[in-house]
């Protein structure tokens, strides 16, 4: 029987909606056994963790489908509860009928992420692993998915769990010195504390340093093409996409609104945005477009300034500096296409071969940050923030120690703060609101 804290039993279709070869209905909770009588060919209970072929019947005994049933008794299941998986033929009406049938057995439809939430609350996963499950499903690129798999494998918990324990040991030593007063014990805890803090920070640093990369990998990046009218922004946009998305004409002011498309640059999911050329204009529609261009440029993660005049000074009227200058229409003024340093690209007769645009894409991906082999990537803003805050507490403790090594109370307070953040990170301390936020982004059935 399940040792879970939950008294109700939930069910959901775990496969995507629509027609398919197979659809899986997953049932979890203490009352899974209510379903066994609907599987007449199987013993009650069915053999654990064994795929069993059986009819599925309704309460009148009518066969709904021929299915595979898989029974995972608690606690060795995804949720830690008794779990039954029904592998049906992938007909949405059939799935709906099976869920209605289960409802008559008092098995209610699951909320988004409820299976994983139960897995977390039953101690099958820590919170970072639960988040990794969602990221594996939603990761928009291969690299993101790989980073999420590492997290599901316990990467963050394995790295941070020992840090937290070492931190608590250190805290215990500091508190012992507070209790017995430095003079009485005769020796100072400062050297140990200094060494300990250094080690802890060393362990946290790579995770915090890769935070922005991680956020970009999972959250995506906005790359904006901006410039004066008629410099070839839309032509470049189309070449980067590999399709004629934006209208290109010789008339300045052709692009009046933002045009965006989702692409990948290296490992990053990118929203590439083409904008109206920046100029003073009496045309009301174009003026609105120019305003949008400016706002979009201000919000860019990577701002590309396109110019057809290699001597043109960088613009001063944008609210942020550009990251890359692209000298365009190279065929009109001579020059060789390609990178000139990290932040300048000479481009391109729009008739240039694909390799030129490949090099542009690769360089932009590189500017966003290389991910290859990065072992310490968090997956969510929540994780990044908890780690960054823990690090801040440790840095504050380090400063206090330098300023006044005897002020152990204040130092202990910072160590407590850091330990608390790390416990929150792993989900050892959590509020319902945090869990609601984490699990609301899941799909139903996961
Ligand atoms: N010679 C030359 N003309 C270009 C190049 N790229 C774009 N153009 C032309 O410049 C004009 C404006 O291009 P467009 O992409 O609409 O510029 P935008 O206003 O900055 O979006 C069009 O007539 C394009 O054919 C290029 O690399 N070389
Ligand atoms: Mg344009």
Q: What is the CATH T-level fold of the domain 135-210+377-427, as seen in this structure? A: 1.20.120
Residue 429: the pLDDT is 85
Of 226, 233, 235, the one to substitute when testing ligand 1's pocket (max ligand atoms within 8 A of C-beta) is 235
134 — pLDDT class (breaks 50, 70, 90): very high
Contacts of 64 (CB under 8 A, 6+ apart): 55, 56, 57, 58, 94, 97, 98, 101
373 — pLDDT class (breaks 50, 70, 90): low
Residue 372: the pLDDT is 66
Ligand 1 centroid to residue 67 C-alpha, Å: 60
pLDDT average, residue stretch 415-441: 90
pLDDT average, residue stretch 226-255: 93
Residue 444: the pLDDT is 83
Shortest CA distance to 323 belongs to which of 342, 348, 310? 342
Helix (H, G, I), strand (E, B) or coil at 303: strand
Our measurement of the distance from residue 82's CA atom to the centroid of its chain's CA atoms, rounded to an integer in Å, reads: 30
Residue 406: the pLDDT is 86
The ranges assigned to domains in the chain are 9-122, 135-210+377-427, 220-368
| 46 has a pLDDT exceeding 90 | yes
Q: Which atom of ligand 1 is nearest to the CA of 231?
A: 20
Residue 437: the pLDDT is 86
pLDDT in tens, 153-166: 888 888 999 999 99
**Residues less than 5 Å from ion ligand 2, measured at CB:** 233-234, 255
pLDDT average, residue stretch 169-183: 82
Ligand 2 centroid to residue 228 C-alpha, Å: 9
| 357 has a pLDDT exceeding 80 | yes
pLDDT average, residue stretch 92-110: 97
Task: Determine which residue's CA is closest to atom 9 belonging to ligand 1.
Answer: 232
| 91 has a pLDDT exceeding 80 | yes
| 2 has a pLDDT exceeding 50 | no
Q: Which atom of ligand 1 is nearest to the CA of 351?
A: 27
32 — pLDDT class (breaks 50, 70, 90): very high
Cα–Cα distance, 417 to 421 (Å, whole number): 6
pLDDT average, residue stretch 175-191: 75
Of 243, 246, 248, 346, the one to substitute when testing ligand 1's pocket (max ligand atoms within 8 A of C-beta) is 248
DSSP classification of residue 112: B
Of 230, 312, 357, the one to substitute when testing ligand 1's pocket (max ligand atoms within 8 A of C-beta) is 230
| 431 has a pLDDT exceeding 70 | yes
Q: Which atom of ligand 1 is nearest to the CA of 238?
A: 15
Cβ atoms of 140 and 220 closer than 8 Å: yes
302 — pLDDT class (breaks 50, 70, 90): very high
Which of the pair, 285 or 183, is modelled with greater confidence?
285
Residue 52: the pLDDT is 97
CATH of the domain spanning 220-368: 3.40.50.300
Task: Determine which residue's CA is closest to atom 10 belonging to ligand 1.
Answer: 232
- The β-bridge partners of 272 are 223, 261
Q: Which atom of ligand 1 is nearest to the CA of 306?
A: 20
Cβ atoms of 427 and 151 closer than 8 Å: no
Residues of the chain above pLDDT 90, percent: 69
Ligand 2 centroid to residue 343 C-alpha, Å: 22
Cβ atoms of 112 and 444 closer than 8 Å: yes
Ligand 2 centroid to residue 275 C-alpha, Å: 7
Average pLDDT over the chain, rounded to whole? 91
Shortest CA distance to 412 belongs to which of 157, 162, 189, 187? 189
Structure token pair of residue 391:
């690090």
Q: Which atom of ligand 1 is nearest to the CA of 350?
A: 27
Ligand 2 centroid to residue 280 C-alpha, Å: 16
Our measurement of the distance from residue 369's CA atom to the centroid of its chain's CA atoms, rounded to an integer in Å, reads: 16
If one counts every other C-beta atom within 10 angstroms of the C-beta of residue 370, the result is 13
Our measurement of the distance from residue 408's CA atom to the centroid of its chain's CA atoms, rounded to an integer in Å, reads: 38
pLDDT in tens, 57-86: 999 999 999 999 999 999 999 999 999 999
Which of the pair, 331 or 256, is modelled with greater confidence?
256
Residue 335: the pLDDT is 76
Which CATH homologous superfamily contains domain 9-122? Answer: Probable tRNA modification gtpase trme; domain 1 (3.30.1360.120)
| 1 has a pLDDT exceeding 60 | no
pLDDT average, residue stretch 323-345: 89
Ligand 1 centroid to residue 290 C-alpha, Å: 18
| 356 has a pLDDT exceeding 50 | yes
Ligand 1 centroid to residue 306 C-alpha, Å: 11
Instruction: Using only the alpha carbons of the chain, give its radius of gyration.
Output: 29
Strands 9-13 and 107-109: parallel
With a Cβ cut-off of 6 Å, ligand 1 is lined by 227, 229-235, 248-250, 254-255, 277, 328-329, 331-332, 348-350
Q: Which atom of ligand 1 is nearest to the CA of 237?
A: 15
């Amino acid at each position: 029987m399940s040792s879970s804290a939950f008294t109700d039993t939930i069910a959901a279709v775990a496969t995507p909606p629509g027609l398919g070869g197979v659809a899986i209905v997953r049932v979890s909770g203490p009352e899974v056994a209510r379903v066994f009588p609907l599987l007449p060919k199987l013993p009650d209970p069915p053999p654990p963790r064994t795929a069993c072929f059986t009819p599925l019947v309704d309460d009148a005994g009518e066969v709904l489908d021929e299915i595979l049933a898989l029974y995972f008794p608690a606690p060795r299941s995804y949720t830690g509860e008794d779990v039954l998986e029904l592998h049906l033929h992938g007909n949405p009406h059939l799935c709906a009928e099976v869920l209605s049938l289960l409802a008559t057995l008092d098995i209610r439809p699951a909320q988004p992420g409820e299976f994983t939430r139960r897995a977390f609350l039953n101690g099958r996963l820590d919170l970072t692993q639960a988040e990794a499950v969602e990221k594996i499903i939603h990761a928009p690129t291969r690299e993101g998915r790989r980073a999420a798999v590492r997290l599901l494998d316990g990467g963050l918990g394995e790295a941070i769990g020992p840090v937290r324990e070492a931190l608590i040991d250190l805290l215990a030593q500091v508190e012992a010195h507070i209790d017995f007063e430095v003079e009485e014990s005769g020796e100072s805890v400062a050297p140990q504390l200094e060494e300990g803090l250094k080690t802890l920070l060393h362990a946290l640093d790579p995770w915090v340093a890769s935070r922005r990369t991680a956020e970009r990998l999972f959250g995506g990046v906005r790359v904006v093409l901006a410039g004066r009218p008629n410099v070839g922004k839309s032509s470049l946009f189309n070449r980067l996409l590999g399709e004629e998305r934006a209208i290109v004409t010789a008339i300045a002011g052709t692009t009046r609104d933002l045009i965006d498309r989702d692409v990948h640059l290296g490992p990053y999911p990118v929203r590439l945005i083409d904008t109206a050329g920046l100029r003073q204009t009496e045309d009301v529609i174009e003026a609105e477009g120019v305003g949008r261009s400016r706002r979009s440029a201000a919000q860019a993660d990577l701002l590309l300034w396109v110019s057809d005049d290699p001597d043109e000074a960088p613009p001063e009227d944008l609210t942020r500096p550009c990251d890359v200058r692209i000298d365009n229409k190279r065929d009109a003024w001579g020059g060789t296409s390609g990178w000139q340093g990290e932040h300048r690209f000479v481009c391109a007769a729009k008739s240039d071969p694909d390799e030129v645009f490949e090099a542009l894409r690769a360089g932009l991906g590189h500017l966003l940050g290389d991910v290859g082999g990065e072992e310490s990537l968090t997956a969510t803003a929540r994780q990044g923030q908890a780690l960054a805050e823990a690090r801040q507490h440790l840095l504050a403790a380090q400063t206090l120690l330098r300023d006044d090594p005897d002020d152990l109370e204040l130092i202990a307070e910072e160590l407590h703060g850091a330990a608390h953040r790390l416990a929150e990170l792993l989900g050892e301390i959590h509020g319902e609101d945090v869990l609601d936020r984490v699990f609301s982004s899941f799909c139903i059935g996961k």
